[in-house]
Structure 1
Amino acid sequence: MLKLKPMHFTDFIDAPVEKVYKTFVNENGWDPWFTDGMKMELKDGGKIFFRWERLTGEEVIDRGYTIEIIPNKLWEFWWYEYEDGFRSKVTIKFQKNLDGGTWISITDNTIVKSMEEIDIRYGCAFGWGQMLILAKAYIEQNIILLR
């Protein structure tokens, strides 16, 4: 297993923390702005089902489960199911800004066993950046960039 530092992604979204949190942590997941059929059980240990089609051009399905939920503050989960288990532990934190906006930070600890699997990590990094841009447009402007 390669020893890699966690990846960190941070963005500011000009909306109240409650709205930002609800956009990321809800029963329908990141539909309609990023996923196509995501479902999540809103409890510690709850199952997560991811489905993409618009973003990928083909149906991509994955699963995960919630480790911990603290309303309007934190959502931590495992996902990226591989033949030997989940490969990506993600922590999303929501922090209220004094002016009413929200700082969102994502920490991804993707497990990579060898250099041949490094594309797993690059794919996750690319995806989080893309996801934050799509979320920002959706939350701030009510624009869905995926068609």
Structure 2
Amino acid sequence: MLQTVKMHFVEHFNVSVEKLWHLFVNPNGWDPWFTDGMSMETFEGGHIRFRWKRITADEVVEDRGVVIFVETFKVFEFWWYEYEDGFRSRVKMTFVPHGKNESWLKIEDSVLVDGEKELSIALGCAYGWGQMLCLAKAYVERGLILI
């Protein structure tokens, strides 16, 4: 029986919400700091193509997604983690300004799993979001690429 596991992640960034938005919502996706050849159509109904190589021990891992909702500088929401005839994960990224040059990114990931036997899927997503936020922070605040 499919169940939804909801996970919440929050990170503070020492950049404006506009700069943070453009880090995450742009045609090149999360290259060069997290993905390898990602592409993103940044409008509702747009397609997302995920591609990793550096963080997967040189194994090319690809997935796709679709943008569900966009409210510029505020909310970016998409489906991803393809399976059967749909997607397993619905992600809502909320961008919150904090003063003039600081912001918060809140991520809510709702992952469909088939009971305890697939709990590792949700745990893998949780690990990935934590890693992605750390890499994004180093890149946008310090210009560092850690992978």
Aligned to 2:11: 11
Structure 2: state its 5+ residue gaps. none
Aligned to 1:39: 39
Q: Deviations over 1:4-40 (max 9, x none)?
A: 4410000100001110000000000000000001001
Aligned-residue RMSD, C-alpha: 1.1
Aligned to 2:92: 91
- Give the Cα–Cα distance (whole angstroms) in 2 for the partners of residues 77 and 46 of structure 1: 9
Shift in Å at residue 42 of structure 1? Answer: 1.4
Shift in Å at residue 113 of structure 1? Answer: 1.4
Q: Where do residues 1-147 of structure 1 align in structure 2 (5 Å cutoff)?
A: 1-57=1-57, 58-146=59-147
Identity of aligned residues (%): 53
Structure 1: state its 5+ residue gaps. none
Shift in Å at residue 84 of structure 1? Answer: 3.7
> Aligned residues, how many?
146
Shift in Å at residue 114 of structure 1? Answer: 2.2
- Write out the 4+ residue segments of structure 1 that deviate beyond 4 Å after TM superposition: none
- Give the Cα–Cα distance (whole angstroms) in 2 for the partners of residues 114 and 91 of structure 1: 23
TM-score (norm 2): 0.96
- Give the Cα–Cα distance (whole angstroms) in 1 for the partners of residues 86 and 115 of structure 2: 16
SS at match of 1:88: strand
Higher percent of residues as strand = 2
Shift in Å at residue 137 of structure 1? Answer: 0.1
- Give the Cα–Cα distance (whole angstroms) in 2 for the partners of residues 145 and 24 of structure 1: 17
